[in-house]
Amino acid sequence: MSRTKHLSKTVLAIFFWVIVFVISAEILLRISCNYCTWSEANGGDFVPPYAIDESPHYLVREKNWSGRYTQPEFDYEIRTNSLGFRDIEHPTAKTHGEYRILAIGDSFTEGQGAPFEQTPMRVLIHNLNHNKKHQHFTMLNAGVAGSDPFYGFRIMVDKLLAYQPDLVMIIINDSDVKDVIRRGGKERFLQNGRVQGVAPPQIF
């Protein structure tokens, strides 16, 4: 009988220290934020990869807005044009010899984390125009942090084709794959100007 009690106490002690270890590890990981998602590391909440998402028809920033974007690793001013993109204002009519490039994408295309003149699309257009005498390249940056290719395609068809781009670049990365899995494809866009919620996929 005493042997059974001793075994029970041993099991309870092991169970107790396992619980203490798990709780301590959880607290330590939360404090260190080594495994935080991007949204958690930047002051937001954890967003499950298959959470139902419902948002406006066009995923853009506030129009004609200016302010500072401050995070632990960067601090810069951000301005948007009348379409809600982090870009200068562009006339719809092209000038003689102008070659227009339209860039669609998410935070990488927008240039999140860098001052405006150092964003990838601005650096690209400066390089294209270097020593060019007879043709002028213009970059229309339609990148929006948190967007995905379907949002970009929708606003391109509805609003950006009026700017007569000669070349359209759709820039994607692995986060776009996750976004499309969570949000769905072109079927998400409704006629009332909203985007329908997307249920999690069925796991069999």
* pLDDT band of 184, cuts 50, 70, 90: confident
The better pLDDT of the pair 49, 135 is held by: 135
**What is the structure's pLDDT at 55?**
73
| 133-148 mean pLDDT | 90
Measured from the Cβ of residue 197, the count of other Cβ atoms closer than 10 Å reads 13
- End-to-end C-alpha distance for the chain, whole angstroms: 48
Distance CA 100, CA 91 (A): 11
Q: How far is CA 96 from CA 13, 41, 107, 134, 161, in A?
A: 81, 47, 32, 10, 18
HSE, side-chain direction, 13 A CA sphere, residue 120: 15
Is the model's pLDDT at 85 over the cut of 90?
yes
Distance CA 38, CA 34 (A): 11
Considering only 4-13, 62-71, 104-113, 162-171, which range has the smallest mean pLDDT?
Answer: 4-13
The pTM of the whole model exceeds 0.95: no
For the chain, the domains span 2-35, 66-188
